[in-house]
Amino acid sequence: SEVICVVCPVLQKKVLKKMKERQSKIEEQRAEEENQRTAEEEQRIREERDLAKQRAIEEEEMAKQRAKAMQEEEQKARLLEMQVQREEQLAKEAAERTAREVKEKMEAALTEEMQREQEEMRRHQE
């Protein structure tokens, strides 16, 4: 470092000017470094925010897909329940029809039997 000459004011001014320039450059460099750090921090924050938004969108999409799948499962269950009820109704109607047919056949056989007996009784009476 240079020694400031008390006797020589011109040299003193030059030295002071150089020291101020150096100090100015140092402060400028520090300011640039601080600006760089600030810019990097802002960039990091933006990236984190964008990532968080992306995750939220993906989670919302997954939730929608799960809800849709649940709706589809519920729809399938309702359709299956309707199909079971329809088959039960058809089975009930078939059972009722069969019972009615059996009853009609029995009544017809019984009527036929009674007519034969009456016929035989008439023949015996004659």
**DSSP letter string over 70-84?**
HHHHHHHHHHHHHHH
Phi, psi of 6 (to 5 degrees): -70, -30
At 3, is the pLDDT very low, low, confident or very high (cuts 50, 70, 90)? low
Q: What is the C-alpha separation between 82 and 88, in angstroms, rounded?
A: 10
**CA torsion through residues 44, 49, 55, 57, sign:** negative
6: DSSP letter? S
Whether the predicted pLDDT of 20 surpasses 60: yes
Lookup: tokens for 50 = 């964008």
Per-residue model confidence (pLDDT) at position 16: 84
**What average pLDDT does this structure show over 102-107?**
95
